[in-house]
Every structure is written in C-alpha cells, then in structure tokens.
C-alpha cells in the first residue's frame, strides 16, 4: 500500500506543478496591457496639468496669491527675495486698516520703481504668468507697502519728537521701522483723499513710496480699488516664516476714536451749509 501511495503521489505532482504554472501565468499582465497602462498615463498627464493650472488660477484670482519681494523697501519686515501670501478675500469682509501691509497695482497712479522687460514670445509670457502666480517672479506694476493713513486722514511729518502724526496722534514706529532710519527725511503734510491710502515702506531711506509720488495722479496716495490684498504671512524662506500683524501703535484708543469721529465731522460739515441754505430760503419765502 505504501508503494501504491508513493506512485500515486508521484503521479500527482506534475499535475499540481502545471496548475501552479498556469496560475502564475494568469497573474502576470501581458506586455500589451503594460504598454496600454503606460500610454494611458501619458495621455492623462496633460489633462492633470491643465486641471492643476485652472485650480491655481482660480485660487490666485479669488483667494490667496503668493508674491515675490523684489526690493529692500520693506526691510527688515520683509527682505528681498522673500515670498509672502496675500489674502484677497479679507477686504470683502472688513475695511483696509492703518498698519496693514498691502499689495497693490501702481497702474494709473504710480510710475514704476522698477521695470521688467515684456516677454518676447507667447511661451515666455506663459512662464512669466506662471512665475507671477506662484510668487517666483515679481509683477511689473505690483508694490507692497504699509498703510499709514486711510481716506480722510491728516498725515503729517513730523512733530517735535520727529514722529509721523495721523490726525494729530503720533505713531510709534520702532517695532517695524528699519534700524537707524528716521520716520521721514522729507517733510509732508497731506489729507488723504476719500477711498485712497497713504502708504510707506518700512525702510524709509530707500523706499519710493507715497512721499516720492506726490506729482503722480492722487498726489502720492493710491486708490483703494487698486489694492490686491493684505500680505499676512511670510512663507519663504522657511527659516523666516512668520505672520505679519498690525503693529500695536495703530490700535491706540485716541486714533481709533478719531477714526470714528471723522465721518461724523464730515457729515456735520456737509449738513451745516444745507441748513443755512434752507433757513435763508424760508426767510425769503416768508417775505
């Protein structure tokens, strides 16, 4: 019986081996299937790239955009070659505030601090657009400065202690002003037009800001409508990553109280002539 079972086992092994070989062969993909999968990947790749670019364009246009810092005008808050993220939604929920670091377009209000050559062909223009979208290269007419005064503010330099005043309230700029810089070597006295901003760089000695553009449309101030958004965080280089808060000096109670009273004073000033005209009209009518 032992010999029979051995013979039976010997007879079965080849069959089992054949089954295993067939199973392995069925598990292995055919060469044609491999090539088809590779081919489908390369076909899908352009679609994925287009989708990624469309999503990046939507985010860049409406939500957040990265910007490249091209100059030393905001040192030491922002250094040349830093990258910042700009919130494009924030000013749909609140007004622009003094102390905000904003990115804006200088088109139709400022002459260029620096000029970039236009791309010579469509391919170069495309890569310029991609670079600008991701903050790799600077925009030709985009600037980044700190808001010192908003519409209606009386901004003056300087008081007896060489401080800039906003509506008569001195602001303490030590926390962000470039070391060794005076608030301004150029005296100025301006009332910011409605819906405009008076902006200055933190590195005052090299910044071509509102003080340098008094001969341009707006008298150096820039329209609020040209503001792209608020720079709220440094994202590159990683060792400099930090948020960009509003300095405490712009939260002074006296400054905030004056900010609330300016529209009331403006309304009162506008109402007085109307009251006088109405009173004269009534007097004449009675006669």
Catalytic residues: 73, 145
Distance from C-alpha of 104 to C-alpha of 198, rounded to nearest angstrom: 12
- Count Cβ atoms below 10 Å from residue 173 Cβ, excluding itself: 21
What token pair was written down for 123? 């391919």
Judged on CB neighbours under 10 Å (0-12, 13-18, 19+), 187 is: exposed
Distance from C-alpha of 275 to C-alpha of 278, rounded to nearest angstrom: 5
What token pair was written down for 153? 């503010």
Q: List Cα–Cα distances, 15 to 6, 10, 25, 126, 142, in angstroms.
A: 15, 10, 15, 64, 78
Residue closest to 135 by CA, chosen among 70, 68, 69: 68
Positive or negative CA dihedral for 68, 74, 79, 80?
A: positive
Residues 96 and 245: beta-carbon distance below 8 Å: no
DSSP state of 147: E
- Whether a cis peptide bond, with omega within 30° of 0, leads into 76 is yes
Three-state secondary-structure class, residue 241? coil
Distance from C-alpha of 101 to C-alpha of 94, rounded to nearest angstrom: 15
């Amino acid at each position: 019986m032992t010999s029979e079972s051995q013979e039976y086992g010997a007879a079965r092994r080849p069959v089992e081996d054949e089954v295993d070989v067939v199973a392995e062969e069925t598990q292995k993909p055919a060469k044609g299937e491999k090539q088809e999968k590779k081919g489908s990947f390369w076909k899908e790749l352009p679609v994925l790239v287009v989708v990624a670019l469309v999503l990046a364009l939507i985010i860049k246009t409406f939500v957040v955009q990265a910007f490249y810092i091209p100059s030393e005008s905001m040192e030491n808050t922002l250094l040349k070659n830093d990258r910042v993220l700009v919130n494009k939604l924030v000013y749909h929920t609140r007004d622009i505030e003094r102390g905000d670091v904003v990115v804006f377009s200088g088109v139709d209000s400022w002459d260029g601090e620096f000029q970039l050559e236009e791309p010579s062909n469509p391919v170069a223009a495309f890569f310029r657009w991609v670079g600008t979208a991701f903050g790799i290269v600077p925009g030709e007419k985009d600037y980044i400065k700190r808001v010192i005064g908003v519409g209606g503010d009386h901004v003056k330099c300087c008081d007896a202690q060489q401080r800039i005043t906003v509506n008569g309230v001195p602001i303490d700029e030590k926390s962000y002003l470039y070391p060794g810089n005076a608030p301004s070597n150029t005296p100025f006295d301006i009332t910011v037009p409605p819906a405009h901003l008076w902006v200055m760089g933190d590195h005052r000695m090299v910044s071509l800001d509102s003080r340098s553009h008094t001969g341009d449309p707006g008298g150096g101030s820039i329209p609020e409508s040209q503001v792209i958004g608020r720079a709220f965080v440094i994202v590159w280089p990683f060792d400099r990553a930090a948020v960009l808060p509003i300095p405490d000096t712009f939260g002074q109670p006296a400054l905030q109280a004056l900010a609330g009273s300016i529209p009331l004073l403006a309304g009162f000033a506008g109402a007085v002539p109307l009251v006088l005209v109405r009173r004269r009209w009534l007097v004449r009518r009675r006669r």
